[in-house]
Amino acid sequence: MLIVQKFGGSSVANAERVFNVAKRIIETYDKGNDVVVVLSAQGDTTDDLLAKAAEINENASKRELDMLLSTGEQQSVALMAMAIQKLGRNAISLNAAQVGIESTSTYSNAKIKRICTERIQNELDRKNIVIVTGFQGINKYDDVTTLGRGGSDTSAVALASVLHADLCEIYTDVDGVYTADPRIVKDAQKLNEISYDEMLELASLGAKVLHNRSVEMAKKYNINLVVRSSLTREEGTIVKEECKMEKMLISGVASDKDIARISVIGIKNEPGKAFEIFSLMARERISVDIILQSIGRNNTKDISFTVHKADLKQAIAVLEANKERLKVDEIVFTDDVAKLSIVGAGMATNTGVASLMFEALFDAGININMISTSEIKISVLIDEKDVEAATIAVHDKFRIAHLSMKA
Protein backbone atom coordinates (compact mmCIF):
# COMPACT_ATOMS: atom_id res chain seq x y z
CA MET A 1 0.00 0.00 0.00
CA LEU A 2 1.00 3.60 -0.52
CA ILE A 3 0.11 5.62 2.56
CA VAL A 4 0.34 9.40 3.06
CA GLN A 5 0.66 10.45 6.70
CA LYS A 6 0.38 14.03 7.89
CA PHE A 7 1.60 15.20 11.30
CA GLY A 8 0.86 18.64 12.71
CA GLY A 9 3.24 21.08 14.35
CA SER A 10 2.57 20.02 17.95
CA SER A 11 3.34 16.38 17.06
CA VAL A 12 6.90 17.36 16.08
CA ALA A 13 7.45 20.21 18.56
CA ASN A 14 10.63 18.79 20.12
CA ALA A 15 13.21 16.04 19.67
CA GLU A 16 11.29 13.55 21.80
CA ARG A 17 8.08 14.02 19.82
CA VAL A 18 9.99 13.88 16.53
CA PHE A 19 11.24 10.42 17.56
CA ASN A 20 7.75 9.30 18.61
CA VAL A 21 6.43 10.26 15.19
CA ALA A 22 9.47 8.69 13.48
CA LYS A 23 8.70 5.37 15.22
CA ARG A 24 5.08 5.58 14.14
CA ILE A 25 6.14 6.19 10.53
CA ILE A 26 8.61 3.29 10.67
CA GLU A 27 5.88 0.93 11.95
CA THR A 28 3.92 1.62 8.78
CA TYR A 29 7.05 1.37 6.58
CA ASP A 30 8.20 -1.90 8.15
CA LYS A 31 4.87 -3.52 7.22
CA GLY A 32 6.01 -3.17 3.60
CA ASN A 33 4.15 0.03 2.77
CA ASP A 34 5.46 2.94 0.74
CA VAL A 35 5.21 5.96 3.03
CA VAL A 36 5.03 9.66 2.17
CA VAL A 37 4.95 11.95 5.20
CA VAL A 38 3.76 15.56 5.23
CA LEU A 39 4.86 17.79 8.12
CA SER A 40 3.98 21.21 9.48
CA ALA A 41 6.51 23.50 11.14
CA GLN A 42 7.54 22.54 14.69
CA GLY A 43 5.37 23.81 17.56
CA ASP A 44 5.34 27.59 17.69
CA THR A 45 7.85 28.10 14.88
CA THR A 46 5.38 29.76 12.53
CA ASP A 47 4.15 32.15 15.23
CA ASP A 48 7.74 32.96 16.22
CA LEU A 49 8.62 33.77 12.62
CA LEU A 50 5.50 35.93 12.26
CA ALA A 51 6.53 37.83 15.40
CA LYS A 52 10.01 38.36 13.96
CA ALA A 53 8.52 39.71 10.76
CA ALA A 54 6.09 41.97 12.64
CA GLU A 55 9.00 43.43 14.59
CA ILE A 56 10.55 44.52 11.31
CA ASN A 57 7.53 45.36 9.18
CA GLU A 58 3.91 45.07 10.31
CA ASN A 59 2.77 45.24 6.72
CA ALA A 60 5.44 42.95 5.31
CA SER A 61 4.82 41.88 1.74
CA LYS A 62 3.10 38.51 1.58
CA ARG A 63 5.76 37.24 -0.82
CA GLU A 64 8.49 37.80 1.76
CA LEU A 65 6.32 36.41 4.56
CA ASP A 66 5.90 33.19 2.60
CA MET A 67 9.64 33.07 1.92
CA LEU A 68 10.18 33.38 5.69
CA LEU A 69 7.44 31.04 6.91
CA SER A 70 8.29 28.22 4.51
CA THR A 71 11.59 27.70 6.36
CA GLY A 72 9.65 26.29 9.33
CA GLU A 73 8.46 23.24 7.41
CA GLN A 74 11.84 22.77 5.78
CA GLN A 75 13.41 22.52 9.22
CA SER A 76 10.91 19.94 10.46
CA VAL A 77 11.26 17.68 7.40
CA ALA A 78 15.08 17.73 7.63
CA LEU A 79 14.96 16.91 11.36
CA MET A 80 12.46 14.10 10.77
CA ALA A 81 14.65 12.57 8.05
CA MET A 82 17.58 12.67 10.52
CA ALA A 83 15.47 10.94 13.19
CA ILE A 84 14.36 8.18 10.82
CA GLN A 85 17.95 7.68 9.65
CA LYS A 86 19.03 7.46 13.30
CA LEU A 87 16.50 4.62 13.70
CA GLY A 88 18.13 2.78 10.83
CA ARG A 89 15.73 3.36 7.94
CA ASN A 90 16.22 5.33 4.72
CA ALA A 91 14.56 8.72 4.54
CA ILE A 92 14.84 11.86 2.46
CA SER A 93 13.31 15.28 2.99
CA LEU A 94 11.92 17.34 0.10
CA ASN A 95 10.60 20.88 -0.05
CA ALA A 96 7.91 22.13 -2.41
CA ALA A 97 10.45 23.22 -5.05
CA GLN A 98 12.15 19.82 -5.01
CA VAL A 99 8.89 17.88 -5.31
CA GLY A 100 7.40 20.34 -7.76
CA ILE A 101 4.25 21.40 -5.91
CA GLU A 102 3.00 24.07 -8.30
CA SER A 103 0.56 26.58 -6.88
CA THR A 104 -1.34 29.69 -7.89
CA SER A 105 0.51 32.98 -7.43
CA THR A 106 -1.49 34.34 -4.49
CA TYR A 107 0.99 34.59 -1.65
CA SER A 108 -0.15 33.46 1.83
CA ASN A 109 -3.27 31.82 0.42
CA ALA A 110 -2.15 29.91 -2.67
CA LYS A 111 -3.96 26.91 -4.09
CA ILE A 112 -2.19 23.80 -5.39
CA LYS A 113 -2.44 23.54 -9.19
CA ARG A 114 -0.28 20.58 -10.05
CA ILE A 115 2.14 18.22 -8.33
CA CYS A 116 4.98 16.44 -10.14
CA THR A 117 5.24 12.87 -8.90
CA GLU A 118 8.55 11.93 -10.51
CA ARG A 119 10.93 12.84 -7.69
CA ILE A 120 8.75 11.29 -4.97
CA GLN A 121 8.21 8.16 -7.05
CA ASN A 122 11.97 7.81 -7.63
CA GLU A 123 12.66 8.13 -3.92
CA LEU A 124 9.94 5.59 -3.08
CA ASP A 125 11.45 3.21 -5.66
CA ARG A 126 14.75 3.54 -3.76
CA LYS A 127 12.85 2.45 -0.63
CA ASN A 128 13.15 5.87 0.96
CA ILE A 129 10.55 7.19 3.37
CA VAL A 130 9.78 10.53 1.74
CA ILE A 131 9.23 13.53 4.04
CA VAL A 132 7.57 16.48 2.32
CA THR A 133 7.05 20.04 3.57
CA GLY A 134 3.36 20.78 4.06
CA PHE A 135 1.71 24.19 3.70
CA GLN A 136 3.80 25.36 0.75
CA GLY A 137 4.10 25.49 -3.02
CA ILE A 138 6.04 27.17 -5.79
CA ASN A 139 4.33 29.57 -8.18
CA LYS A 140 5.06 30.30 -11.83
CA TYR A 141 7.76 32.82 -10.86
CA ASP A 142 9.63 30.08 -8.90
CA ASP A 143 8.64 31.92 -5.74
CA VAL A 144 7.64 30.18 -2.54
CA THR A 145 3.96 30.40 -1.64
CA THR A 146 2.07 29.19 1.40
CA LEU A 147 -1.34 27.58 1.24
CA GLY A 148 -3.00 29.48 4.06
CA ARG A 149 -4.52 28.10 7.22
CA GLY A 150 -4.64 24.31 7.49
CA GLY A 151 -2.55 24.12 4.36
CA SER A 152 -0.61 21.06 5.46
CA ASP A 153 -3.80 18.98 5.48
CA THR A 154 -4.40 20.12 1.93
CA SER A 155 -0.83 19.22 0.95
CA ALA A 156 -1.33 15.71 2.33
CA VAL A 157 -4.64 15.13 0.55
CA ALA A 158 -3.29 16.56 -2.72
CA LEU A 159 -0.24 14.28 -2.54
CA ALA A 160 -2.49 11.30 -1.74
CA SER A 161 -4.52 12.18 -4.82
CA VAL A 162 -1.69 12.53 -7.37
CA LEU A 163 0.18 9.51 -6.00
CA HIS A 164 -3.04 7.42 -6.01
CA ALA A 165 -2.42 6.62 -2.36
CA ASP A 166 -4.51 3.91 -0.76
CA LEU A 167 -4.96 5.93 2.42
CA CYS A 168 -4.37 9.42 3.75
CA GLU A 169 -3.93 9.58 7.52
CA ILE A 170 -4.16 12.96 9.24
CA TYR A 171 -2.51 12.70 12.66
CA THR A 172 -3.50 15.33 15.18
CA ASP A 173 -3.63 15.84 18.94
CA VAL A 174 -7.23 14.62 19.22
CA ASP A 175 -8.57 11.08 18.74
CA GLY A 176 -10.80 11.99 15.84
CA VAL A 177 -13.86 14.06 15.02
CA TYR A 178 -16.13 14.65 18.01
CA THR A 179 -19.78 15.71 18.27
CA ALA A 180 -18.51 18.86 20.04
CA ASP A 181 -15.24 20.19 21.39
CA PRO A 182 -14.47 17.65 24.17
CA ARG A 183 -12.72 20.38 26.18
CA ILE A 184 -16.09 22.16 26.46
CA VAL A 185 -18.64 19.37 26.36
CA LYS A 186 -17.66 16.52 28.70
CA ASP A 187 -19.91 13.88 27.15
CA ALA A 188 -18.97 14.71 23.57
CA GLN A 189 -18.58 11.51 21.55
CA LYS A 190 -16.02 10.52 18.97
CA LEU A 191 -17.55 9.72 15.58
CA ASN A 192 -16.35 6.53 13.88
CA GLU A 193 -17.36 7.83 10.49
CA ILE A 194 -18.50 11.09 8.97
CA SER A 195 -19.38 12.04 5.40
CA TYR A 196 -17.28 14.48 3.38
CA ASP A 197 -20.16 16.97 3.33
CA GLU A 198 -20.70 16.98 7.08
CA MET A 199 -16.97 17.18 7.72
CA LEU A 200 -16.83 20.05 5.26
CA GLU A 201 -19.44 22.01 7.18
CA LEU A 202 -17.84 21.21 10.53
CA ALA A 203 -14.41 22.19 9.23
CA SER A 204 -15.55 25.49 7.78
CA LEU A 205 -17.51 26.21 10.96
CA GLY A 206 -14.47 26.14 13.17
CA ALA A 207 -13.91 22.53 14.18
CA LYS A 208 -10.15 22.71 13.85
CA VAL A 209 -9.60 19.01 13.21
CA LEU A 210 -9.35 19.29 9.42
CA HIS A 211 -9.18 22.25 7.09
CA ASN A 212 -12.14 22.56 4.77
CA ARG A 213 -10.02 22.82 1.63
CA SER A 214 -8.46 19.46 2.41
CA VAL A 215 -11.90 17.90 2.87
CA GLU A 216 -13.15 19.46 -0.38
CA MET A 217 -10.21 17.93 -2.18
CA ALA A 218 -10.67 14.55 -0.52
CA LYS A 219 -14.34 14.59 -1.60
CA LYS A 220 -13.44 15.62 -5.15
CA TYR A 221 -10.86 12.85 -5.62
CA ASN A 222 -12.58 10.36 -3.31
CA ILE A 223 -9.55 9.96 -1.02
CA ASN A 224 -9.88 7.66 1.99
CA LEU A 225 -9.18 10.04 4.82
CA VAL A 226 -8.61 9.06 8.43
CA VAL A 227 -8.29 11.53 11.31
CA ARG A 228 -6.50 10.01 14.29
CA SER A 229 -4.31 10.84 17.27
CA SER A 230 -0.52 10.79 17.07
CA LEU A 231 -0.45 10.13 20.82
CA THR A 232 -2.73 7.10 21.14
CA ARG A 233 -3.53 3.94 19.15
CA GLU A 234 -7.25 4.82 18.84
CA GLU A 235 -8.89 4.05 15.51
CA GLY A 236 -9.82 7.63 14.69
CA THR A 237 -12.61 8.88 12.42
CA ILE A 238 -12.98 7.83 8.80
CA VAL A 239 -14.13 10.55 6.42
CA LYS A 240 -15.76 9.14 3.30
CA GLU A 241 -18.58 9.51 0.83
CA GLU A 242 -21.25 7.27 2.29
CA CYS A 243 -21.64 6.60 5.93
CA LYS A 244 -24.03 4.96 8.32
CA MET A 245 -24.96 8.06 10.18
CA GLU A 246 -27.72 9.33 7.96
CA LYS A 247 -30.20 8.62 10.69
CA MET A 248 -28.45 10.96 13.09
CA LEU A 249 -30.15 14.29 13.40
CA ILE A 250 -26.98 16.29 13.88
CA SER A 251 -23.43 15.03 13.89
CA GLY A 252 -21.72 17.84 15.69
CA VAL A 253 -21.60 21.24 17.31
CA ALA A 254 -18.79 23.59 16.30
CA SER A 255 -17.80 27.08 17.31
CA ASP A 256 -15.52 29.73 15.87
CA LYS A 257 -14.30 32.72 17.90
CA ASP A 258 -12.06 33.94 15.13
CA ILE A 259 -14.66 36.22 13.54
CA ALA A 260 -15.78 39.83 13.66
CA ARG A 261 -19.06 41.49 12.69
CA ILE A 262 -19.31 44.62 10.55
CA SER A 263 -22.54 46.60 10.13
CA VAL A 264 -22.98 49.13 7.36
CA ILE A 265 -25.86 51.34 8.46
CA GLY A 266 -28.13 53.66 6.50
CA ILE A 267 -27.36 52.51 2.96
CA LYS A 268 -29.42 54.45 0.41
CA ASN A 269 -32.10 52.15 -0.98
CA GLU A 270 -30.71 51.90 -4.51
CA PRO A 271 -30.03 48.71 -6.48
CA GLY A 272 -26.45 47.43 -6.51
CA LYS A 273 -25.34 48.82 -3.14
CA ALA A 274 -24.87 45.38 -1.52
CA PHE A 275 -23.00 44.25 -4.60
CA GLU A 276 -20.66 47.24 -4.32
CA ILE A 277 -19.80 46.45 -0.70
CA PHE A 278 -19.06 42.80 -1.33
CA SER A 279 -17.13 43.43 -4.52
CA LEU A 280 -14.89 45.76 -2.46
CA MET A 281 -14.31 42.89 -0.03
CA ALA A 282 -13.62 40.45 -2.87
CA ARG A 283 -11.09 42.81 -4.43
CA GLU A 284 -9.19 42.84 -1.10
CA ARG A 285 -9.47 39.02 -0.93
CA ILE A 286 -11.45 39.24 2.33
CA SER A 287 -13.76 36.27 2.88
CA VAL A 288 -17.25 37.24 3.98
CA ASP A 289 -19.32 34.65 5.85
CA ILE A 290 -22.79 35.28 7.30
CA ILE A 291 -24.64 38.19 5.62
CA LEU A 292 -27.82 39.78 6.94
CA GLN A 293 -29.77 42.65 5.40
CA SER A 294 -32.49 44.56 7.21
CA ILE A 295 -34.65 47.62 6.65
CA GLY A 296 -33.32 50.79 8.31
CA ARG A 297 -34.95 54.17 8.90
CA ASN A 298 -36.03 56.60 6.19
CA ASN A 299 -36.06 54.15 3.34
CA THR A 300 -32.47 52.99 3.97
CA LYS A 301 -31.00 49.50 4.39
CA ASP A 302 -28.59 48.09 6.97
CA ILE A 303 -26.19 45.28 5.95
CA SER A 304 -24.29 43.23 8.52
CA PHE A 305 -21.73 40.56 7.74
CA THR A 306 -18.90 38.61 9.37
CA VAL A 307 -15.24 38.38 8.42
CA HIS A 308 -12.15 36.73 9.92
CA LYS A 309 -10.77 38.73 12.85
CA ALA A 310 -7.47 39.09 10.98
CA ASP A 311 -9.23 40.84 8.10
CA LEU A 312 -11.29 43.27 10.21
CA LYS A 313 -8.84 46.18 10.13
CA GLN A 314 -8.43 46.03 6.38
CA ALA A 315 -12.17 45.64 5.76
CA ILE A 316 -12.98 48.71 7.84
CA ALA A 317 -10.26 50.73 6.12
CA VAL A 318 -11.67 49.90 2.69
CA LEU A 319 -15.23 50.67 3.73
CA GLU A 320 -14.26 54.00 5.32
CA ALA A 321 -12.32 54.96 2.20
CA ASN A 322 -15.45 54.33 0.10
CA LYS A 323 -18.01 55.71 2.56
CA GLU A 324 -18.87 58.72 0.38
CA ARG A 325 -19.28 56.71 -2.78
CA LEU A 326 -21.39 54.03 -1.03
CA LYS A 327 -23.58 56.78 0.50
CA VAL A 328 -23.81 55.16 3.94
CA ASP A 329 -24.42 56.84 7.30
CA GLU A 330 -22.26 54.78 9.58
CA ILE A 331 -19.94 51.77 9.75
CA VAL A 332 -19.85 49.91 13.06
CA PHE A 333 -18.01 46.74 14.04
CA THR A 334 -17.17 44.38 16.88
CA ASP A 335 -14.84 41.44 17.28
CA ASP A 336 -16.50 40.33 20.47
CA VAL A 337 -18.63 37.74 18.68
CA ALA A 338 -18.51 34.04 17.93
CA LYS A 339 -20.29 31.64 15.60
CA LEU A 340 -21.99 28.52 16.91
CA SER A 341 -23.10 25.91 14.39
CA ILE A 342 -24.78 22.53 14.26
CA VAL A 343 -24.17 20.19 11.35
CA GLY A 344 -25.94 17.04 10.24
CA ALA A 345 -26.98 15.31 7.05
CA GLY A 346 -30.23 14.35 8.79
CA MET A 347 -31.24 17.98 9.14
CA ALA A 348 -32.38 18.34 5.53
CA THR A 349 -35.23 15.88 6.05
CA ASN A 350 -36.15 16.91 9.58
CA THR A 351 -38.19 19.97 10.39
CA GLY A 352 -37.85 21.64 13.75
CA VAL A 353 -34.09 21.35 14.10
CA ALA A 354 -33.61 25.11 14.01
CA SER A 355 -36.30 25.74 16.59
CA LEU A 356 -34.81 23.11 18.91
CA MET A 357 -31.48 24.94 18.68
CA PHE A 358 -33.05 28.35 19.34
CA GLU A 359 -34.95 26.92 22.28
CA ALA A 360 -31.74 25.56 23.79
CA LEU A 361 -30.11 28.97 23.50
CA PHE A 362 -33.17 30.79 24.85
CA ASP A 363 -33.30 28.43 27.87
CA ALA A 364 -29.65 29.23 28.55
CA GLY A 365 -30.33 32.95 28.32
CA ILE A 366 -28.10 33.45 25.27
CA ASN A 367 -28.84 36.19 22.78
CA ILE A 368 -28.73 35.45 19.02
CA ASN A 369 -27.36 38.23 16.80
CA MET A 370 -27.53 36.71 13.34
CA ILE A 371 -28.69 33.44 11.81
CA SER A 372 -27.53 31.58 8.71
CA THR A 373 -28.65 28.20 7.43
CA SER A 374 -27.79 25.67 4.71
CA GLU A 375 -29.04 22.20 3.77
CA ILE A 376 -27.03 20.52 6.50
CA LYS A 377 -26.09 23.26 8.97
CA ILE A 378 -27.45 26.09 11.08
CA SER A 379 -25.15 28.84 12.32
CA VAL A 380 -25.91 31.60 14.82
CA LEU A 381 -23.83 34.58 15.83
CA ILE A 382 -23.60 35.06 19.60
CA ASP A 383 -21.47 37.05 22.03
CA GLU A 384 -18.00 35.58 22.41
CA LYS A 385 -18.41 35.15 26.17
CA ASP A 386 -21.38 32.81 25.63
CA VAL A 387 -19.63 30.26 23.43
CA GLU A 388 -19.01 27.57 26.02
CA ALA A 389 -22.42 27.74 27.66
CA ALA A 390 -24.08 27.73 24.24
CA THR A 391 -22.09 24.70 23.07
CA ILE A 392 -23.08 22.73 26.16
CA ALA A 393 -26.72 23.79 25.96
CA VAL A 394 -27.09 22.85 22.30
CA HIS A 395 -25.17 19.59 22.69
CA ASP A 396 -27.43 18.63 25.62
CA LYS A 397 -30.54 19.55 23.74
CA PHE A 398 -29.83 17.22 20.89
CA ARG A 399 -28.34 14.56 23.12
CA ILE A 400 -25.81 14.13 20.39
CA ALA A 401 -23.71 11.83 22.47
CA HIS A 402 -26.62 9.44 22.88
CA LEU A 403 -27.57 9.53 19.21
CA SER A 404 -24.01 9.01 18.17
CA MET A 405 -23.68 5.88 20.26
CA LYS A 406 -26.78 4.38 18.70
CA ALA A 407 -25.55 5.00 15.15
CB of 63 to its own copies, least distance (A): 7
Nearer to its own copies, 98 or 121 (CB): 98
Nearer to its own copies, 87 or 348 (CB): 87
Helix (H) or strand (E) holding 327: none
CB half-sphere exposure, 20, CA atoms < 13 A: 15
E strand intervals along 208-329 = 225-229, 237-240, 252-268, 288-295, 300-308
CB of 59 to its own copies, least distance (A): 8
CB of 151 to its own copies, least distance (A): 18
CB of 228 to its own copies, least distance (A): 24
Nearer to its own copies, 45 or 404 (CB): 45
By the 10 Å C-beta count (0-12 exposed, 13-18 middle, 19+ buried), 349 is classed as exposed
Residues 79, 131: Cα–Cα separation, whole Å? 10
CB of 119 to its own copies, least distance (A): 7
CB of 60 to its own copies, least distance (A): 4
Residues 111, 32: Cα–Cα separation, whole Å? 33
CB of 98 to its own copies, least distance (A): 5
Residues 76, 131: Cα–Cα separation, whole Å? 9
Report the candidate in 160, 152, 162 with the shortest Cα–Cα distance to residue 225.
Answer: 160
Nearer to its own copies, 58 or 242 (CB): 58
Residues 55, 52: Cα–Cα separation, whole Å? 5
Angle CA(105)–CA(107)–CA(112) in degrees, nearest 5? 55
CB of 230 to its own copies, least distance (A): 17
Write out the DSSP string of 1-50.
-EEEEEE-GGGGSSHHHHHHHHHHHHHHHHTT-EEEEEE---TTHHHHHH
Contacts of 275 (CB under 8 A, 6+ apart): none
Residues 21, 40: Cα–Cα separation, whole Å? 13
CB of 36 to its own copies, least distance (A): 17
Chain-centroid distance, C-alpha 318: 26
Nearer to its own copies, 73 or 311 (CB): 73
The contact set with its own copies (CB under 8 A) reads 15, 18-19, 49, 52-53, 55-57, 59-61, 63-65, 67-68, 70-72, 74-75, 77-79, 81-83, 85-86, 92-93, 95, 97-98, 119, 142-143
Nearer to its own copies, 52 or 127 (CB): 52
Q: Is 298 strand, coil or helix?
A: coil
Nearer to its own copies, 144 or 223 (CB): 144
CB of 12 to its own copies, least distance (A): 11
- The order of strands in the sheet holding 144-146 is 112-115, 101-103, 136-138, 144-146
Residue positions counted in the chain: 407
Nearer to its own copies, 77 or 290 (CB): 77
Nearer to its own copies, 72 or 176 (CB): 72
- Max CA separation in the chain (angstroms): 77
Nearer to its own copies, 127 or 399 (CB): 127
